[in-house]
Amino acid sequence: MKIINFATSEDLPSYEFYKKFNEDDDSDYYGICKAEPKIESDEELVKLCSKILKNLKLLAETKNQDNFHNKRCNDLNYWITEQLNKNHGVKDELIINSPTYISLYTALFYIKEKEQIYNICSLDYTDTTTEEKRRRKNLYDYYENYGKLEEIFTKKDNKCKKEHYEYLAKCVDLYKKTEQFCTQGNNAPSSKCPPLFSNFGIYFPGKILSEMPCQLEVQTEAPVELAGTDEMTRKDLQAPPKEDVTVYGGESDTDSSLQSSPSMSDTLMKTSIPALGSCFFFFILYRWTPVGSIIQNRLLNRGGEINELHNNVGEELWEDTMEPLNVNSDRNGYQLAYQSI
């Protein structure tokens, strides 16, 4: 199973420097590479040659920042292998077997000799496989990033965020396997062990790189639905109903909104004007036309009939009848009889 690059987080020092290798060359190196007969016919290889020269210059300018012996030179050699694999169809585990790499290597060798530039880093021409180069890069990145990560999780009571924790877990596992492989006594193939592995005690005195240096930070998140409910409850408590609020010296928000609403004003205008017009029209008919006389006579006659009916009913309802008085020899009183309705 192939190993992938572990350091993919942008806040890691190794990633931050490594991505500079991909920046375009804005110097005259393109012309120098284009003049080399070995690669002049391959435009993409000429561009790669130009970037390599630019990166050799970068290593020369930042050599004092390389805290681990030849670490960045190893990075550049791995980057060259990665570019050949991605963009130039070189799939060989041993790139020294690739004609494309041999042409590139030869061209760069002559350029460095002729121009006398940037001999700080030697291009790789060993039997180290691509897989082994990637393994070493991940291990060296672990060395380079450890100090920065230690500063971060020390401030958090040795708690790591998920992204850093997963990265460190991969690195610790790789370190254990490398340690087991390189400590087999005389049977250990020393040529296959990373050169920096035996020097880890110099860079990290008292540190145990085979153990996780931090614990996973637990993320606590409030449920979104509950948080929304709490927010609604808080708003209900803070804002009383508008109808219960007494407004002094001014209008309520509701009244203001109604008065300031253009749509409400338009609706009132559209309904009130026709109604007023209709009332005015019927008033003219009633007041100054024969129609008004007819309506008046009928209403007056009808009113008379209604009044007469009312009087007749009233007399029947409220009329009380008194029976003739009978003198009872046994009682000295009067008896009054009422007819109920």
pLDDT tens track for 219-238: 765 444 444 544 444 445 45
pLDDT for position 323: 44
For residue 125, is it within any domain? yes
Q: Please tell me which residue, 64 or 20, carries the higher pLDDT value.
A: 20
pLDDT for position 258: 37
For residue 131, is it within any domain? yes
Query: Coil, strand, or helix at residue 35?
Result: coil
Structure-token pair, residue 82? 């990665």
Task: Report in angstroms the alpha-carbon separations of 292 from 47, 279, 281, 285, 296.
Answer: 105, 14, 12, 6, 6
pLDDT tens track for 20-39: 999 987 777 999 999 999 99
pLDDT for position 197: 79
* Res. 321 pLDDT band, cuts 50 70 90: very low
pLDDT for position 20: 94
Which one, of 160, 178, 170, 259, lies nearest residue 214 by Cα?
Answer: 160
For residue 34, is it within any domain? yes
* Residue-averaged pLDDT of the chain: 74
pTM over 0.95: no
pLDDT tens track for 184-216: 665 555 566 877 777 777 777 788 889 999 999
pLDDT for position 335: 41
Task: Report in angstroms the alpha-carbon separations of 337 from 281, 317, 334.
Answer: 60, 16, 10
* Res. 272 pLDDT band, cuts 50 70 90: low
For residue 272, is it within any domain? no
pLDDT for position 38: 94
User: What count of Cα atoms within 13 Å lies in the side-chain half-sphere of residue 100?
Assistant: 20
pLDDT for position 253: 45
pLDDT for position 59: 92
The domain tally of the chain equals 1
For residue 141, is it within any domain? yes
Distance CA 57, CA 117 (A): 8
Q: Please tell me which residue, 62 or 197, carries the higher pLDDT value.
A: 62
pLDDT for position 320: 44
pLDDT for position 165: 94
Evaluate if residue 333 carries a pLDDT over 80. no
pLDDT for position 261: 45
Give the other-Cβ count within 10 Å of 106's Cβ: 14
For residue 325, is it within any domain? no
Distance CA 294, CA 156 (A): 99
For residue 113, is it within any domain? yes
* Res. 46 pLDDT band, cuts 50 70 90: very high
Q: Domain range holding 210?
A: 13-216
* Res. 330 pLDDT band, cuts 50 70 90: very low
Q: Please tell me which residue, 27 or 248, carries the higher pLDDT value.
A: 27
For residue 233, is it within any domain? no
Of the chain, the percentage scoring pLDDT greater than 90 comes to 33
Query: Coil, strand, or helix at residue 214?
Result: coil
pLDDT for position 84: 94
